[in-house]
Amino acid sequence: MRKLDVKVIQEAVTKSLIKMNYELEDSFVRKLQIAKNNERSEISKSILTEILENQDIAKKGINPLCQDTGIAVIFAYIGKDLQIQGNLEAGINDGVRNAYEDGYLRKSVVKHPFDRQNTKDNTPAIIHTKLVEGDKLTLKIAAKGAGSENMSRVVMLKPSDGIEGVKKLVKDTIFNAGGRPCPPIIVGIGIGGNLEKSALIAKEAILRDLDDQHSDPIIAKLEDELYKEINELGVGPMGVGGDTTCVGVKINTYPMHIASLPVAINIQCHANRHDEVIL
């Protein structure tokens, strides 16, 4: 059985969270550049120009991309032939704590829903673990801001609502959110499972590679159609109207009860901070 010291995990989490808060992926930046060139109105073009200038400045490593440096969300896929030496959850949280201190990131986590006292170190992270084949640990890490998270939702549709019902729900959600989730957005959709499973697979959806194609042709087609139809809503960059409302739609599905059609819509803002590490 392969062994992995929890310290290695801790350091990887720290490094990853700091880097993602200062630097967007090149492939994502290229999508924003294309969006800027496509915009027809002066104001939406000018907003995308500011977003692109911002990432150039943030890349220098002095100030992060956005002041909302997020709550850390970590999916840990643990190989069943891997033995983690130490406490995984504590290790991840130590990694988060160090990242938010050493990286000059904002501590945005409060302990209690009503007294709102800040935990002062941005912990605890939201951690999801899953056992998988192999002897590796894969971490999918995100720094998730609240502006876009607050516009996300889970709705229990009726099975008879079907594809059209899902499309209407997604488009209404995006249109009603307007500029609040900081478009251009990435839309992660979870269809199926139950209440919490749909939300979980929607979150995993926003972490998918934007250029991948869903293996199920019905879902791949739905992703393409929603991508087009969401952009036709005309919400535009920061909600001011325009050609680019989303730069990606990713859908994950899961089997569900005969009586249910749960749909979760998780929105990711244009400060698309995530990373994947294999240890």
Partner 1 sequence: MIRITPPVDNATIKTLKVGDKVLFSGTIYTARDQAHIKLVQDMNPAFDLQGAVLYYVGPTPTRDGQVIGSCGPTSSYRMDELSVPLMERGVKMMIGKGNRSQNFQKEMIKNNAVYLIATGGTGALLASKVKQRKVLMYEELGPEAIYELEVKDFPCFVAYDVHGNTLFKGGTDV
Residues forming the site for partner 1 (CB under 8 A): 43, 46-47, 50-51, 53-55, 57-58, 62-69, 104-106, 116, 118, 147, 150, 174-180, 182, 233-236, 238-242, 269-271
Query: What is the spatial distance between Cα 74 and Cα 72, in angstroms, rounded to a whole number?
Result: 6
Other beta carbons within 10 angstroms of residue 224's beta carbon come to 13
Rounded least distance, CB 107 to partner 1, Å: 8
Q: How far is the CB of 239 from partner 1 (least distance, A)?
A: 5
- As measured in angstroms, the least distance from the Cβ of 81 to partner 1 is 40
7: closest CA among 94, 79, 83, 67? 94
- Closest separation between CB of residue 262 and partner 1, Å? 22
51 vs 189, which CB is nearer to partner 1?
Answer: 51
| Alpha carbon distances (Å) from 210 to 58, 190, 252, 279 | 22, 16, 13, 23
- CB nearer to partner 1: give 137 or 177: 177
Task: Pick the closer one to partner 1 by CB: 46 or 194.
Answer: 46
Instruction: Tell me, rounded to whole angstroms, the distance of Cα 246 from its chain centroid.
Output: 13
Measured distance CA(203)–CA(215) in Å, rounded: 18
In the complex, what is the shortest distance from the CB of residue 53 to partner 1, in angstroms, rounded to a whole number?
5
The residue (of 10 and 245) whose beta carbon lies closer to partner 1 is 245
Instruction: Dig out the tokens for 243 from the structure.
Output: 């050609």
Question: Which two structure tokens, joined as six digits, stand for 127?
Answer: 């951690």
- 55/138 with CB nearer partner 1: 55
